Amino acid sequence: MNERLQNSLLIFGLFIGVFLAANSIVQESNLIEDDWVANVGGVQISKEKYYSQLEGLAKDKKNPITERDKNYVLERMIEEELLIIRAKELGLFENNQIVRGSIIQQMIKLIISENYLESVEEETLRKFYEQNIGFFSSASRLRLQQIYFSNSSGDSKERSEEAFEYLKEGASYDEVSKMADQSALTIPNSMMNLSKVREYIGPTLMNLARRLEPGEFSVPMEVAGGHKIIYLFDKELSEPEEFDSIQPKILKEYQRRRDDNSLREYLEDLKGWYEIKRIKEL
């Protein structure tokens, strides 16, 4: 009798446990369902997002929101999710460059958006200005050379990019210039004013060169008949502009560099968050 009673109590306890567990799951499920207004192919449309859309519509309407308005907003949100799901199935995120480019641009805006919530103190700007005085000074004379790659000698873009990589790895101008082709235009190895530089390499490359620092070089630039890399050896600066007269320009450059740093740090973090496998030999 005792054994039968114990078994009965055990079965009853097990039944109560299963019931409580099932009830807990149902309650949890109901709680989760209370957080969304629609489920589209496994993607939930949250109430928060739905009410945000309704709020936006209410601001644009003169009359109160009606049931028809509520249904309209929900159906549009469902249709948006359906289009996104179908776009994924069609591989647009992976294969369509316009879609990928748009997503990348939106991600970049999201990453740097927090920067603009912070005000930049004038003291910070003044310190930045002093540390980068050369950037805010106009170049008056330059000494430079070009490394030219002609289409007639093969793929000028590919060869110029190879030379550019060598320069980035520390190769000297003399070493890399041996890889290049002879240009019909020889640039004097002397300091030249900007108008003279313009005569030799044109306005676009001249403006690019004036922003370089001695020892720096440009990315390969496409020109008539091939590609060029501009290598700057030396430059003379005019008097720098006064801080007060160019403060908006200083702020803009400070923000640009801050955004670049934020993006670079975020990308480095992403490389740590996700597993990346690279082919050793390409």
Q: Check whether residue 118 and residue 152 sit in a common domain.
A: no
Q: What is the rounded average pLDDT for all residues in the chain?
A: 84
Which residues, including other chains, have CB under 8 Å from residue 154's CB and lie 6 or more apart?
none
> Are both 220 and 160 inside the same structural domain?
yes
pLDDT(21) > 80: no
Task: Give the type of residue at 59.
Answer: K
Residue given tokens 């928060």 in the structure block: 48
Residue 280: inside a domain, yes or no? no
Residue 49 shares a structural domain with residue 125: no
Average pLDDT score over residue span 98-109: 90
Residues 182, 229: one domain? Answer: yes
Q: Is the separation of the CB atoms in 164 and 219 below 8 Å? A: yes
Nearest to 240 by CA among 231, 249, 232: 249
Are residues 190 and 145 part of one domain? yes
**Tens digit of pLDDT for each residue in 120-178?**
999 999 999 988 887 787 778 999 999 999 999 889 999 999 999 999 999 999 999 99
**Same domain, yes or no: 113 and 187:** no
Domain presence at residue 188: yes
In terms of domains, do 149 and 229 share one?
yes
Residue 23 lies in a domain: no
What is the DSSP secondary structure assignment for residue 190, as one 8-state letter?
A: S
Query: Which domain, by its residues, includes 190?
Result: 138-237
pLDDT at 268: 92
pLDDT at 18: 40
Give CA separation, 265 vs 137, 215, 256, 269, in Å: 29, 26, 14, 6
* CATH number of the domain within which 185 lies: 3.10.50.40
Is residue 10 situated within a structural domain?
A: no
Instruction: Give the pLDDT band (50/70/90) at residue 20.
Output: very low
**Residue 282, domain member (yes or no):** no
At 42, the pLDDT band (50, 70, 90 cuts) reads confident
C-alpha distances out from residue 51 to 42, 69, 81, 82, 222, Å:
20, 12, 16, 19, 52
- Mark whether 46 and 107 lie in a shared domain: no
- Please report whether residue 186 resides in a domain: yes
Residues 142 and 173 in one domain: yes
Q: What is the pLDDT of residue 7?
A: 43
Question: Into how many domains does the chain fold?
Answer: 3
Specify the range with the lowest mean pLDDT, choosing from 5-9, 209-213, 219-223, 250-254: 5-9
Mean per-residue pLDDT, 251-277: 91
Residues 145 and 224 in one domain: yes
Tokens at residue 77, please?
A: 């949100």
Per-residue pLDDT of 199-224, as tens digits, reads 999 988 988 998 899 999 999 999 98
Torsion angle of C-alpha atoms 6, 9, 11, 14, degrees rounded to 10: -120
Residues 111 and 196 in one domain: no
Residues 156 and 213 occupy one common structural domain: yes
Q: Is residue 261 part of a domain?
A: yes
Instruction: Tell me the percentage of the chain whose pLDDT exceeds 90.
Output: 46
Q: Is the residue at 151 inside a domain?
A: yes
Q: Would the pLDDT of 8 be above 50?
A: no
Q: Please state the rounded mean pLDDT for residues 105-121.
A: 88
Judged against a pLDDT cut of 60, whether residue 192 lies above it is answered with yes
